[in-house]
Amino acid sequence: MIDIQRYTSKFNDSIAHLKHEISSLRTGRATPSLIESIPVEVYDSKMQLQQLATITSSDARTLVIQPWDKSTIHEIEKALSQSDLNASPVVDGALIRLPLPPLTEENRRALVKHLHASAEQCRVSLRQHREKVRGELDAAMDKKEISEDQKFKLYKQIDELVTQYTKTIKDISEQKESEIMSM
């Protein structure tokens, strides 16, 4: 018999991906997750900033980047300048200060639009997993491994699971939207 619960890990992976993706969306506060994944060209390869430095938040609008290797400070500064943050990094000896400008209403709306697109992409992923399960259930019924009643019972279970995860996506999205739109 097919166990619906084994598919919850795929649903959880979709939710985890959404949370990771929206963690880099800027809200009113400066958080290290905003810049952790910025690619930096060092040592003849591209590395994420989090692999090269310690990133902390000194106040609500300023991030402090302290490279582990002081020779990479100019490459990190260049990568931050070229990022889409619209911020100008300031080299202060062995560290970089990144003051983030306040978000405009237009920027906030663009971030919310990106948030909604990410949430929709996650919902699509859930629906794709559901269709895969349904295909397996149909194949199992064709092979006489399960009855038609069992198939429809499992259909109902998977639909309830998808509904539950869709509500989770909505809750995550609404919370992040309120963070973005507030000062």
Neighbours of 161 (CB within 10 A): 19
Alpha-carbon distance of 113 to 50, in angstroms, equals 27
Annotate the chain with three-state secondary structure. Answer: CCCHHHHHHHHHHHHHHHHHHHHCCCCCCCCHHHCCCCEEEECCEEEEHHHCEEEEEEECCEEEEEECCHHHHHHHHHHHHHCCCCCCCEEECCEEEEECCCCCHHHHHHHHHHHHHHHHHHHHHHHHHHHHHHHHHHHHHHCCCCCHHHHHHHHHHHHHHHHHHHHHHHHHHHHHHHHHHCC
Boundary residue ending a domain (72, 99, 126):
99
Boundary residue ending a domain (99, 116, 148):
99
- Report phi then psi at 96, rounded to 5: -120, 130
Residue 48 domain flag: yes
Residue 12 domain flag: yes
Q: Which residue has the tokens 């929709």?
A: 120
Residue 40 domain flag: yes
Q: Which residues contact 165 (CB under 8 A, 6 or more apart)?
A: 11, 14, 15, 126
Domains in the chain: how many in total? 2
Boundary residue ending a domain (99, 132, 159):
99
Residue 91 domain flag: yes
- 85 — pLDDT class (breaks 50, 70, 90): confident
Instruction: Based on the fold, state whether residues 113 and 148 are members of the same structural domain.
Output: yes
The pLDDT mean for the chain works out to 86
Residue 2 domain flag: no
Q: What was the pLDDT predicted at 25?
A: 74
Residue 147 domain flag: yes
Q: Which range has the worst mean pLDDT, 5-19, 22-36, 111-125, 155-169?
A: 22-36
Q: What was the pLDDT predicted at 80?
A: 87
Instruction: Kindly state the average pLDDT of the residues 12-18.
Output: 90
Q: What was the pLDDT predicted at 117?
A: 92
Domain extent at residue 15: 8-22+104-181
Residue 3 domain flag: no
Instruction: Based on the fold, state whether residues 108 and 95 are members of the same structural domain.
Output: no
Residue 125 domain flag: yes
Instruction: Based on the fold, state whether residues 149 and 177 are members of the same structural domain.
Output: yes
Alpha-carbon distance of 182 to 161, in angstroms, equals 32
What confidence tens digit (pLDDT) does each residue in 86-125 have?
Answer: 778 888 888 889 888 777 888 788 888 989 999 999 999 9
CATH at 71: 3.30.1360.40
Query: With the C-alpha atoms ordered 159, 161, 167, 172, is the resulting torsion angle positive or negative?
Result: negative
- 37 — pLDDT class (breaks 50, 70, 90): confident
Instruction: Based on the fold, state whether residues 94 and 111 are members of the same structural domain.
Output: no
